[in-house]
Structure 1
Amino acid sequence: MSQATPASLLTIFGATGDLARRMLLPSLYSLQAEHLLPDGMRILGTARSELDREGFSNLVAASIAERIPAAERSDEALRGLLERLDYCAAGADDDASMQALAGRVDALRNGDVLYHMSTAPRFYGPACQALAANGVAGPGTRVMLEKPIGKDLASAIAINDSVAMAFDEERIFRTDHYLGKEGVQNLIALRFGNSLFEPLWSARHIEQVQITVGETVGVEGRGDYYDDSGALRDMLQNHLLQLLCLVAMEPPARFEPTAVRNEKIKVLRSLRPIDRGNVGTESVIGQYTAGASEGRVVPGYAEELGRASRTETFVALRAHVDNWRWSGVPFYLRTGKRLPSRSTEIYIQFRKVPYSIFGGPADTDMRPNGLLIKLQPEERIELDLMSKTPGLDRAGLRLSQVALDLDFHEEFLNSRKRIAYERLYLDAIEGNGTLFVRRDETEAAWQWVDAIADGWRDAGMLPKPYPAGTWGPGASVSLVDRLGHGWRE
């Protein structure tokens, strides 16, 4: 692979869209404020909206005013960002507009170019091929693709093939914004930067692993998209499987793109299939009904959608990684909308002590050690240990579970909480693909997920109802209870 140089031009497709206004433009502002963007790098926005440079600048300024806290806003930083901007309206299916866009790219670039496809995935291939046809997709260019890459394996392959006609694999950066989160990167540091955990990180010492991504929101105006996707495709296929890979992968030789991605794909290929033969025992799906969420009454999914639907808003799986390190350890994956709290966490429960020396009440008090890695809404790590309960113990020694708690807000009080795209943009601008997803990862994840969806269809499985504000259908409790486990709530 040739050594990439920092991009001289960032071209954002879908620059007037929701993701751009909420995440991308505020991230670029923060990088500008900290003088982290390359000197002279220009930012070219493009979308179907017929704006001029001034109109786009006004949109960017409004986005910054809405999304960046007043205490973090600076007139100087905003001026610096606005000076980098240009805009060219274009549509991937409009040859004349794409030719005009290519001309603008040629005029603005002074070296490498990074394209960011913040559009519907069906436009990725046509847009990339139009760039190639107009001579602006050759060496020195790279492209970021937003998830989801397709809605199943076949569509993912079609999109990947289409993009590959214009860009080599080494120049394609598939984004999962979870990988840009500070807490996710800290999971890598926790595992491979400490001698304490890695010797214990296997089936010999770990009883179970739980990964939960809970949302309190409903479909929030995304009903048509979500109804075509569901929790399995929208969240589990990408976010949860990426977290599972980081927990389960072997230590890479180096913290660099090829080594990290090679270890992640090994995990995905070691996942035991959940298919027609076992989908009924290894998975639970649900759909929220009316209930109470965050102190207010909320309608059910069907009411929000305006029609009856078989789409799942909750999914729980019992997965197994069939290799030497993890044989026999269940990985419980759970995600859903309208759950009691917004949280992303990984819980590793260690095995119980092989024998209790205490007897009496202490044996009843004994709990296994656990490691909790919370990624949102706050980032923290807790290690649950057993400790003696204070007292004279005349009726027998008592034990209590206590937590060694590392709160990142306290430890790094003066460090600003970053938007995930700040890290992802910097890495993509510099050509570092470590935190991006390779093609074979994407397709291996879809292959595993497609078998689950096929199993549901074959078995005629319908989502079980659960009231908004609860932790999903009761059947999800049985899923973990069968092996003597319980969800951490």
Structure 2
Amino acid sequence: MPPVEITPEFNPLRLATDRRLSRIAGPSGLIIFGVTGDLSRKKLMPAVYDLANRGLLPPGFALVGFARRDWETQDFEKVVHDAVKQYARTPFDDDVWKQLAQGIRFVQGEFDDDAAFARLKDTVEELDVHRGTMGNHAFYLSIPPKSFPEVTEQLRRSGLAEQKDGQWRRVVIEKPFGSDLKTARELNEVVESVFPPDSVFRIDHYLGKETVQNILALRFANQLYEPIWNANHVDHVQITMAEDIGVGGRAGYYDGIGAARDVIQNHLLQLLALTAMEEPISFDAADLRAEKEKVLSAVRLPKDLATGTARGQYSGGWQGGEKVLGFLDEEGMNPESTTETFAAMRLDIGTRRWAGVPFYLRAGKRLGRRVTEIAVVFKRAPQQLFAESQTSALGQNALVIRVQPDEGVTIRFGSKVPGAVMQVRDVTMDFGYGHAFTEASPEAYERLILDVLLGDPPLFPRHQEVELSWKILDPIEQFWATQGKPEQYRPGTWGPTSADDLLTRDGRTWRRP
């Protein structure tokens, strides 16, 4: 290696002091099961390339695909190339691609094929020798949950899950983590019988988003918010995940799952935990998870689930100038399905900090617009100084964390309207990632894949969090199962009238983002 040239601009301490530099993964490989699916093509492969393009993967990194397709390695390489060209966040660089492509391999086989897993083991060992992956490999199960037991057992039987001294083997599981508490526990037992708990990474891609991580920075790096982040000042919290599309080609998957199991059990309850948790001792995985688990274990359900929850199905109609099908009319859908496409609920947290503060969660499809946000709505200030007519246009102060699509934070507060008379109305102060920082935010899967390779687990829920979430949701799902068909709502609206009634009973209204 040639000596480093010392120039007036060169600072020999920069590599040690520049806090913007990220940690680089050590020698390692990633094996993806379900590599022919949309998740792999649109998210995982592009994320791997983007990490390589940012210099965060080792030169000898390996990417192995496992699927039943009758492909050779060059066929898989072409699939990865096309996915990267179409979906990668960073510009395509021929030199980066050539370096990455040298480590691409493909193994053809079925999940019940012992010989295929023997070939996979041979491939992994070949990469250890020729790419220098040094026995460090992560297995990404981008497959239906029903296949987890079979694949994990094959990894055990073939010796692929075995961790020798100085090496690591990890497994990555995509949601859903079961369909209720019973199946979640069964799944956890199967996976953790093969891999130790600290080698199991449960992917919730929402936790990899910059704005979700910013909740921690917003709360604990600033003196401004934490003193008022409690029942003395907060009136209620609304957590919304709205989509403006229907189930489309996912009808077969979605039927029997529904909005609550699909996103509330994982994404929204994780957002609730991060919003409501106490300050952890550190951001180490154990400390962060411990505080989230305390919050989830303190969640209290409504006494009357009929009035404290709501659900609905979108009907057919017009949305955005386009005629759209109703949920029950989607291709492949059971016309008698009772699966909800909208779910809302009130949850309370039995801690001193949040006593009496309701958390309202809602998620749905075919709603007014695509948006995910956390709105912390504050109590009204005493208005002794102002006549009612002077503050008639003034709402409640709110801090809104926008998770997607326009990532940022908005603060709503009252200000005097210019003019000769005293009139106060709402104004907003806005922070957006897009115009506040020059560097684009990495995709969630970039951060999460890198964390898996680094063995850094804070952003991954462990099995206790998963089981606590199901303990919250199971009684609601069991109640809904006795209630017949959900209420219909028109596409482009914000859900069924029962959802509005849920807040109206408490003297509140939903935000219209």
Fold shared, TM-score > 0.5 on shorter chain: yes
Tell me, which stretches of 5 or more residues in structure 1 are unaligned? none
Which residue of structure 1 aligns with residue 304 of structure 2? 278
Which moves more between the two structures, 314-323 or 364-373? 364-373
Equivalent residue in structure 2 for 1:215, among 230, 243, 253 = 243
2:141 alignment partner, one of 107, 117, 120: 117
| Equivalent position to 1:477, from 487, 497, 500 | 500
Equivalent-residue separation in structure 2 for 1:269 and 1:472 (angstroms) = 29
Structure 1 residue aligned with 2:67: 47
Any residues of structure 2 matched to 1:450-489 within 5 Å, and which? 450-458=474-482, 460-489=483-512
Mapped pair 1:429 → 2:453:
yes
Question: Structure 2 unaligned runs (5+)?
Answer: 1-23, 129-133
Per-residue CA distance 1:235-263 (angstroms, 9 max, x = gap): 11111111111101111111111111111
The one of 198, 202, 218 equivalent to 1:190 is 218
2:46 aligned residue: 26
How far the C-alpha of 1:270 sits from its partner, in A, is 0.6
- Relative to structure 1, is the Cα distance of residues 390 and 487 closer, same or farther in structure 2, using a 3 angstrom cutoff? same
Deviation at 1:161, TM superposition (A): 0.7
Structure 1 length as normaliser, TM-score?
0.95
SS at match of 1:49: coil
Paired residues for 1:222-301 under 5 Å: 222-274=250-302, 278-301=304-327
Encode CA deviations 1:381-429: one digit per residue, 9 max, x unaligned. 1111111111111xxx1112111111211111x3124221000011001
Q: AA paired with 1:136?
A: L
Q: Quick one: distance in 1 between partners of 2:122 and 2:189?
A: 26
Q: 1:404 aligns with which of 418, 429, 440?
A: 429
C-alpha displacement at 1:135, in angstroms?
1.6
8 Å contact kept, 2:145–2:176: yes
Deviations 1:269-289 (A, max 9, x none): 111135xx5210110000000
Contact 1:5 1:431 in 2 (8 A): no
SS in 2 for 1:263: helix
**Deviation, structure 1 residue 461:** 4.4
Q: Give the Cα separation in 1 of the matches to 2:334 and 2:146.
A: 26
Partner amino acid for 1:322? G
Any conservation in 1 of the 2:338–2:484 contact (CA below 8 Å)? no
The list of structure 1 runs, each at least 4 consecutive aligned residues, that deviate by more than 3 angstroms after superposition, is 4-7
SS in 1 for 2:282: coil
Query: Which deviates more from structure 2 when the two are superposed, residues 244-253 or residues 136-145?
Result: 136-145
1:323 aligns with 2:346: no
Which residue of the partner structure matches residue 81 of structure 2?
A: 61
Displacement of 1:484: 1.1
- Report the counterpart of residue 391 of structure 1 in structure 2: 419
Residue correspondence of structure 1 range 90-109 to structure 2 within 5 A: 90-109=109-128
Within 2, Cα distance between the matches of 1:419 and 1:51?
29
Pick closer, same or farther for the CA change 1:7–1:179 going to 2, 3 Å: farther
Partner residue in 1 for 2:152: 128
Aligned position for 1:175: 203
Checking the alignment, whether the CA contact within 8 Å between 1:356 and 1:363 is kept in structure 2 is no
The answer to whether the 8 Å contact 2:103/2:127 transfers is no
Distance 1:306 1:440 in 2: 34
Q: Secondary structure at the match of 1:218?
A: coil
Question: Contact 2:211 / 2:407 at 8 angstroms: preserved in 1?
Answer: yes
* Matched AA of 1:41: F
| 1:149-172 residue CA offsets vs partner (Å, 9 max, x unmatched) | 111111111111111111011110
Q: d(CA) in 2 for partners of 1:165 and 1:90?
A: 24
The separation in 2 between residues aligned to 1:288 and 1:217, in whole angstroms, is 10
Q: Deviations over 1:422-479 (max 9, x none)?
A: 0001100100000001001011111211111111123x24310001111110111111
C-alpha RMSD of matched pairs (Å): 1.6
Q: How does 1:333-412 map to 2 (within 5 A)?
A: 333-359=361-387, 361-393=389-421, 397-412=422-437
Counterparts of 1:52 and 1:103, CA distance in 2: 16
Q: How many residues align?
A: 478
Post-superposition Cα deviations, 1:118-140, rounded to whole Å, max 9, x if no partner, equal 11111222212211122221231
2:467 to 403, 420, 443: 443
Separation of aligned partners in 2, 1:240 and 1:74: 37
Once the 2 structures are TM-superposed, how far is the Cα of residue 7 of structure 1 from its aligned partner?
A: 5.1
Q: Whole-Å Cα distance in 2 between the matches of residues 7 and 340 of structure 1?
A: 46
**Aligned pair in 2 of structure 1 residues 226, 7: CA closer, same or farther (>3 Å)?**
farther
Aligned partner of residue 284 in structure 1, secondary structure: strand
Match of 1:166 among 182, 194, 207: 194
Partner residue of 1:77 out of 66, 73, 96: 96
Structure 2: distance between partners of 1:48 and 1:26 = 22
Higher relative contact order (CA 8 A, sep 6+): 1
Query: Do the aligned residues in 2 keep the contact of 1:338 with 1:470 (CA within 8 Å)?
Result: yes
Instruction: Judge conservation of contact 2:25–2:56 (CA < 8 Å) in 1.
Output: no
Query: What residue in structure 1 maps to residue 19 of structure 2?
Result: none
**In 2, distance between residues paired with 1:362 and 1:126?**
67
Tell me if the contact between 1:315 and 1:334 (Cα under 8 Å) persists in the aligned partners.
yes
**Residues 96 and 348 of structure 1, relative CA distance in 2, 3 Å threshold:** same
Amino acid at match of 1:384: R
The answer to whether the 8 A contact 1:7-1:430 is kept is: no
Following superposition, the deviation at residue 293 of structure 1 comes to: 2.3
Percent identity between matched residues is: 39
TM-score normalised over the length of structure 2 = 0.90
Contact 1:340 / 1:471 at 8 angstroms: preserved in 2? yes
Residue 314 (structure 1) aligned with residue 339 (structure 2):
no
